[in-house]
Amino acid sequence: MSTIPFFDFHCDSLTKGGYKKLMKNDNMHWSLPRFIQGGGQLQVHAIFTPPEYKKGDATMFALKYASEWQRFLEETNTTGVRSKEDLDEKGPFSVLSLEDASPLAGNIEALDMFFDLGVRLITLVWSCDNEVGRGVIHGQGPAITKFGKDLIKKMNEKNVIVDLSHASDELFWEAVKVSDKPVVASHSNSRKFRNHPRNLTDDQIKEISNCDGIIGLVYVPNFVGDPPKDTEDEWNFELKGGVEILAKHAAHIAEISKVETIVLGSDFDGTNLPVVQEVSKTQIMAKELKKVGFSEDDIDKIFYKNAKKFLLKNLP
C-alpha cells in the first residue's frame, strides 16, 4: 500500500509540549516532521485545560496555548485553518480546538475572543462538570445548563464545530436536540466493542451519522479493549493487538451507520500507550482496516476524505 494522506481530528500535543516540541521532539507521540513522514496533512490541535483550572485561570491557560499555536504556525509555515478557503492553501494544516469549554468561564462573549484566535471546534466538557453541563465520568450536575444551550446556538451561528466526546449520555442527547448543525465525537469508539462510558452507544453513533457528523477513532487502550485482568491502572497498560481491535470498532460503526461517518481521532499525547505507537506509524491502521473488509476507497474516506468533506461543509 502506498502512503495515504490523513487528517487527525484530535491530539493533546500542543498542551503537552508547547510550540517548540510540536516542531521537533523524540519523546512525544506527535511532532511535525513525524506527522509529515507518516502522511499527515491536517491535525486538530486541542487546548486541553486541566480540570483544576477554573474561571479566569482556565481562560488564561487557554490564551497561553492559543498564543503557542500561533507561534507554531509562524515558525513552521503550517497553515492554520480558520475557514474552508484555507484548505485550498498548501499544507500541512492545523485546526485549533478547545477540549473543555471551561476557558469560556460561562461567558458567552468569550466565544468571540477564542473564535478570533482561531478556535473552530469545542469539546463541550471534559470528563467533569463545567459551565456547559455534565461530564461523562465524574459528572453529577445538570445534564445541560442555560449557558450550554446558548453556547451551542452561538457555536452554530459562527460555524464552530460542536464536539461531544467526553459528554455524559444525558448531555449528548440534550446537545443534539439544541444543535442545528452536525455534531462530532472527535475521539470516541464503539461502546459495544469496549463497554466504557467514554465510548458511544449504537444509538449515539446512528444519531451522529444521521446528522452527517463524524466520529474519530481513538487510540487510547482503555477505549479500544478491556485492560488485562492483572492491570492496576486502567489508564496505563499496553493493549496487545490493539490496532486490530480498533479496526473492528470501525467495522461496527460502518455497519450500523455508514463509512462516511468515520475519521481518525488519535488522542496522541493524551494517553500513555496508544495502540498506534506514534504519529509516523499511522499507516498501520490502513492494513488493519483492509483486513476487516474496508475497500481502498473506504480507507481513503476514513483517512482523509470524510474529514475534509466535513470541514469544507461546516467551517466558516
Q: Is the pLDDT of residue 1 over 90?
A: no
pLDDT of residue 291: 98
Q: Specify if 255 maps to a domain.
A: yes
CA distance 148 to 153: 9
Task: Report which of 163, 30, 149 is spatially closest to residue 100, judged by C-alpha positions.
Answer: 163
Total structural domains within the chain: 1
| Cα distance between the two ends of the chain | 35
CATH of the domain at 116: 3.20.20.140
Instruction: Provide the grid cell at 144.
Output: 445541560
Instruction: Report pTM.
Output: 0.98
pLDDT of residue 47: 98
Torsion angles phi and psi, residue 183, rounded to 5:
-105, 160
pLDDT tens per residue across span 215-225: 999 999 999 99
pLDDT of residue 232: 84
Q: What average pLDDT does the segment 237-253 reach?
A: 97
pLDDT tens per residue across span 75-128: 999 999 999 999 999 999 999 999 999 999 999 999 999 999 999 999 999 999
**240: domain range?**
6-314
pLDDT tens per residue across span 17-67: 999 999 999 999 999 999 999 999 999 999 999 999 999 999 999 999 999
Q: Is the pLDDT of residue 231 over 90?
A: no
Q: Specify if 38 maps to a domain.
A: yes
Q: Dihedral angle at the C-alpha atoms of 315, 60, 14, 99, nearest 10 degrees? A: -50
pLDDT of residue 73: 98
Q: Specify if 194 maps to a domain.
A: yes
Q: What average pLDDT does the segment 118-147 reach?
A: 96
Neighbours of 92 (CB within 10 A): 15
pLDDT of residue 139: 85
Please give the share of the chain, as a percent, with pLDDT higher than 70: 100
Q: Specify if 1 maps to a domain.
A: no
Rounded to the nearest integer, the mean pLDDT of the chain is: 97
Q: Is the pLDDT of residue 230 over 90?
A: no
Task: Report which of 167, 49, 38, 40 is spatially closest to residue 98, judged by C-alpha positions.
Answer: 49
pLDDT of residue 68: 98
